[in-house]
Amino acid sequence: MASRVTPISGFQEWLPTQRIVEQHFLDTIREVFELHGFASVNTRALEPVERLSDQGEDADKEIYGVRRLAGDDGSTPALGLHFDLTVPFARYVLENGGKLTFPFRRYQIQPAWRGERPQRGRYREFIQADIDIVEADTLPGHYEVELPLVIADAFSRLPIGPYKIQVNNRKICEGFYLGLGIEDVAGTLRTVDKLDKIGADGVRKVLLAAGLSEEQAGKCLDLAAIATPDSSFVGQVRALGVEHPLLDEGLAQLAAVMDAGNEHAPGVLSAELKIARGLDYYTGTVYETVIEGHEDFGSICSGGRYDALASDGKRTYPGVGISIGVSRLLGLLISEGGLTASRETPAAVLVAVTDEESRSDSMRVAAALRARGIATLVAPKAARFGKQIQFADRRGIPFVWFPSEDGDEVKDIRSGDQVPADRDTWSPPEADLRPSLVLP
């Protein structure tokens, strides 16, 4: 009896052309990460629920718990699927601290799982591409400057369109709130971080309900409204008349990030003092990235500095990291933007089969081409050549190879040009060697 297939929302399953786009993004991101000296690691999917649930206001609501369907007597510690890659990486550093060389530069490209209601840009299973720099005991601030420049390098090689990496420093917010006499700094941070979701009036109401005065709430909103393309935000914050040593420290650190950004990736970074990030482990610079024209979609690349996430009570490993939400980004570019690939297969050449008796010769042609790095298919049937050309055309394969005792020929089925070819020397144009990305 056939069973009915029921889709499960919140999971991306791409068609072949879309999967080629995804692989191109992943390969490009990996290449850039390695160009900047990051080493690859891979961590397990499961972490103790206790560790996962200690990372923010809503973290415990998002964890997928995992248990055996049979034979679970309750003695196994509660486990959950990781909802990001930073928490498992911090654990990885603690477990391997004696074997790693610091500063440790790591990249990690893996799935994560989040138990939230699937909606536009938010999935139950998604791929993240992270980089982190971790040091033993003390982390210099220049690493906070470096990470957004790595992302700018990666995005410059991908068809993303105009975007902004929005940068803030939580020390600015925390020092500003302390300077105002606010006691619940963490709660105020989380409330202000919802500014884009509930608006200024909504934030004001929540802050007043939490016990802030009208003046304090107003000053918090004034700070959050500051946004500059350079380090001129420093003067605007000073003009608000709030003082605190932690505020001074944060302003200096963010100014260094913005100055470097304007030198090495002009026009990409924006100081946005409303950015706070919802997870509690961030302690310094924080990043969020939006695609211009799609600001309502939210951040597609985010992260920040954390000083105490990787700590066992004896030694602390401060770090800074940034994560590209690959699935989130591709959900926008593919599903809404129509980004696709020029063909549904990596194959650039289809080797025709004259008849089944000569299939072995077609296979030898394919082997010779593959040996030189040319992705090649052999036709599945010795049909009329018109049918075999049609087979290639439907898949976007640009060239059809015709073996012959009188000399092989290859046809560009797009232009109709057909020329003699040697299996040991012929190559397609570089642009046809691999599928290309196509915008509508």
Residue list, annotated binding site for L-histidine: 84-86, 114, 128, 132, 277, 281-282
> What would you measure as the largest C-alpha separation in the chain, in angstroms?
91
Instruction: Centre a 10 Å sphere on the Cβ of residue 333 and count the other Cβ atoms it contains.
Output: 25
Indicate left, alpha or beta for 53 from its phi (over 0: left) and psi (-120 to 50: alpha): alpha
Residue 263, φ and ψ in degrees, nearest 5: -80, -45
Q: What does each C-alpha distance from 360 to 252, 355, 363, 398, 402 come to in angstroms?
A: 70, 10, 5, 23, 13
Question: Which residue ranges make up the annotated binding site?
Answer: 84-86, 114, 128, 132, 277, 281-282
Peptide bond before residue 103 is cis, with ω within 30 degrees of 0: yes
Q: How many CA atoms lie within 13 A of 332 on its CB side?
A: 20
Return the structure tokens found at 308.
């105490």
| Closest listed residue to residue 38, CA positions, set 153, 145, 133 | 133
Whether 310 contacts 106, CB under 8 Å: no
> What is d(CA 324, CA 131) in angstroms, rounded to the nearest whole number?
9
> What is d(CA 163, CA 145) in angstroms, rounded to the nearest whole number?
18
